Structure 1
Amino acid sequence: MAISSSQPSRFLSLFTILVLCFSLCVAEIRFSEIRSDDRSIIPFDEFGFTHTGRLELNVSHISLSNPNPELDLSQVGFFLSTRDSWIHVLQQIQDLDITCALQSDLVKVVYTFDRLKGAKSFDSMFPENEANQFTLVFANCLQQLQISMDVRSAMYNLDGKSGRRDYLSAGVTILPRVYFLFFLVYFCLAGLWIYVLYKKRLTVFRIHFFMLAVVILKALNLLCEAEDKSYIKRTGSAHGWDVLFYIFSFLKGITLFTLIVLIGTGWSFLKPYLQDKEKKVLMIVIPLQVVANIAQVVIDETGPYAQDWITWKQVFLLVDVVCCCAVLFPIVWSIKNLREAARTDGKAAVNLMKLTLFRQYYIVVICYIYFTRVVVYALVTITSYRYLWTSVVAGELATLAFYVFTGYKFRPEAHNPYFVIDDEEEEAAAEALKLEDEFEL
């Protein structure tokens, strides 16, 4: 029996989630194992083709739970579809114009199982000359038919001049150069920070060395990512470099969140220790980051064909958001403590300047989190597949701006303007505190 008309809404929801959750398409050569799966739709990889696109599909060890020769196996097979086409296909099914997605003239059928003729494997080379972004999908329109198979899929574009294979999607093929360029920027930034620490070595705190470590880890992460994407571009496989990329991503993520917590609590600037509640934030954020990194590895290694892929993706996004929100609490606590201290210890001007600094940092952290977690993902969904690299550039520029702002505001200074005051300034600050409204989130 084919897909019923009551199912399109479920398929539309599934495909919509996939569209929103897909990050930048890398589409390395994928090896997928399907075991006793009765799903009607199994999405594989998404890829941006040029006019010289190719799909290599190698399927082996095919096994059907019901090998009845009377089954209409033309309703089981692989096809390519764009996002817009899939919505219209669902409408066709709902209007009963067709009973299976493979029957639609809006999709590009790659292979249907009625061509097997009893074979247990097949190899298919499908040329794709339409420049667009397609998703490789497996459809099983027969109810209660479970399928097992091993799938090797490879999507690539051929270079017009050399004829070499490019396994990176059309919209992200320049990412190796983008990541390497940002690596050079952070490398220069680390060198500049080392120079500043040397020149101001008498006023350097431990936090400044920690900031240097964060910048170096970010640079190494970008270098590994550049080489990782370059290796995928040439070979379709990321094995080897992806391990280093995951390691540096893990270290960079933990150190960045730790740095935000330490600066937000005034560690090394206002006090040489962390309070118990601030330590608890670190104890929460760091394990959550570990979970987030494990989830990311699982997502990258399995791909969207896995039954729990969407769940893992949602867990990863949720954990990431929780970590981002958790690091804001220490900053809020520090701001409130400074306000209370400014009213009681007679150092109104000093604490007002500290309060101003930490308020600015709080706002910048919020803007950084909002831009990199919301705006960048929005760019991925609304940008044409040809320009998906722009969302990477936007996210990296925002991160670079955040690093530069943090380094500039909390740089080592012999005569820090936030602490050098006179009596008139203190009196003016005391009056300002009386007139200032209570700080609110």
Structure 2
Amino acid sequence: MTERLSQSDMNYIEDDLLQYPDWRGQPFLREEVAQFLTYYCKVPDQLDPENVVVLNGCSSVFSTLAMVLCDPGEAFLIPTPFYGGFAFSACLYSKVELILVHLDSEVTDANPCPFRLTVDKLEQALLEARLAGKKVRGLILINPQNPLGDVYCRDSLQEYLKFAKRYNLHVIIDEIYMLSVFDESITFHSVLSMDSLPDPNRTHVIWGTSKDFGISGFRFGVLYTHNKEVASAVSSFGYLHGISGIAQHKLYRLLQDREWIDKVYLPTYRSRLQKAHGYVTQKLEALGIPFLNRGSGLYIWINLKSYLDPCTFEEELLLHRRFLDHKLMLSRGKTYMCKEPGWFRVTFAEKPLWLKEETSFGEWTEQKNTRAMHRFYHVLLEQKQDLIVKQLEDAQRE
């Protein structure tokens, strides 16, 4: 990516690029975004550039969209666990409340897949919210899901959209990881690829380059909506959240180069993700740590409940701090509004040198080692030893 962004076609400056940009995004970039999404989302018909709004990041897009769709105190449904940035962005301008739709990890006859979202759960959450006097204006979905890694099938997406239409709810779908599905057996279905949306005027898609292209510093987020009034209203926030003309031109050239994206970037990107994911999951299996094996995204949702005694959010926080003490940043489940303590998100999208240990997995030693998985192992070893000591002390007291 750095090499591509350093090529001569990126270094273009003209007077217009040095002025205040169009609040909605420069026309040349919006046209390219419409073509890009049409191509990669497999849209039946060419998307309309007039329905594209470009702002400085997906969080800005979501914050402004919430402002446009809701009055203060109104609410969105959102399945948990979910990306914690939504909790901040929802209240940034509009003071929108998030109604949590709690998903369960336990597998039962009624719940054959851990953390599975069903229409029944959405119906129940909506009913409880209305009984509590809440005015629910929409539903937020993340596909591929963060932090679970789930990729919704087309039938499930259709069910969620039909549910929303029944109750006149807007649907905001964050597809920021759409190109980060590295398991070839999994097919990503963008909501834009559907031949017929149940309620197109209330369906809004967010995408950006921070994850799929690893260039979060560009601060680039896209809204695509068939609702031109919504697009116009959100674009007014370009006054506060616009992107520089120079950056917009670079993004235009990058998205335009689909031959390089298809033949160079994406094969390399997905291959590296797959290798890193395989390495980390192999180590998790060797340690007997349960995890969701989903084949998308940059992270793995892992279950460390067996390392907590008692299994509480307070103990989860202490384990999180122990990871930090060993210079490991694992996001704990509480920050994703998970109702069950003990879940953590491990980001595996890192260079092999930082992930891999210098000794074989069966030859862990006490010697100092800077590799991430080696540190991870030693944190859990310390945690397990402390649990054993605590259990012995409890037994002696009894």
Q: Which has the higher helix share?
A: 1
Give me the TM-score of the superposition, normalised by structure 1. 0.26
Give me the TM-score of the superposition, normalised by structure 2. 0.28
